[in-house]
Amino acid sequence: MVELRSIDLPKDYLKEEMRDGFLVDEKRKQVWAVELDLFSKFVTICSKYKLKYYADAGTLLGAVRHKGFIPWDDDMDFVMFRDDYDKLCQVGEKEFSYPYCFQTENVDFGSIRGHIQIRNSCTTGILLKEIGKKHKVNQGIFIDIFPIDNLPCASERKDYWRELYRLRDKGKKYIDENETADRKVFAQYCMDFENCVKKYAGIKASKVALLSYEINNKVGNRFMKDYEASVELPFEFVKMRIPAGYRNILRIIYGSWSKPQMISTDHKDVLFDADKPYYEYL
What is the model's pLDDT at position 266?
A: 56
pLDDT digits (tens, 9 = 90+) for 59-71: 999 999 999 999 9
CA distance 272 to 121: 12
Contact 168, 67 (CB under 8 A): no
What is the model's pLDDT at position 218?
A: 83
What is the model's pLDDT at position 175?
A: 82
> Average pLDDT in the 73-78 region?
96
What is the model's pLDDT at position 246?
A: 98
pLDDT digits (tens, 9 = 90+) for 112-167: 788 999 999 999 999 887 777 666 889 999 999 999 999 999 999 999 999 999 99
Residue scoring higher pLDDT (211 or 263): 211
> Average pLDDT in the 89-116 region?
91
pLDDT digits (tens, 9 = 90+) for 172-207: 888 888 878 888 898 899 899 999 999 999 899 999
Q: Could you tell me which residues are beta bridge partners of residue 78?
A: 55, 145
State in Å, rounded, how far the first CA of the chain is from the last one.
20
What is the model's pLDDT at position 257?
A: 93
Residue 73, pLDDT > 80, answer yes
Q: Which uninterrupted H or E stretch holds 95?
A: helix 82-95
CA distance 90 to 86: 6
Decide: helix, strand or coil at residue 148.
Answer: strand
> Average pLDDT in the 244-266 region?
85
pLDDT band at 105 (very low <50, low <70, confident <90, very high): confident
CA distance 218 to 2: 38
What is the model's pLDDT at position 216?
A: 84
Cis peptide before 234 (omega within 30 of 0): no
pTM of the model as a whole = 0.94
CA distance 35 to 142: 6
pLDDT band at 267 (very low <50, low <70, confident <90, very high): low
What is the model's pLDDT at position 13?
A: 98
DSSP conformation class of 166:
H
Residues in contact with 23: Cβ distance below 8 Å, sequence separation at least 6, in sequence order: 16, 17
pLDDT digits (tens, 9 = 90+) for 13-49: 999 999 999 999 999 999 999 999 999 999 999 999 9
CATH code for the domain defined by 17-150+208-280: 3.30.460
Domain residue spans of the chain: 17-150+208-280
Residue 265, pLDDT > 60, answer no
Residue scoring higher pLDDT (165 or 269): 165
What is the model's pLDDT at position 88?
A: 98
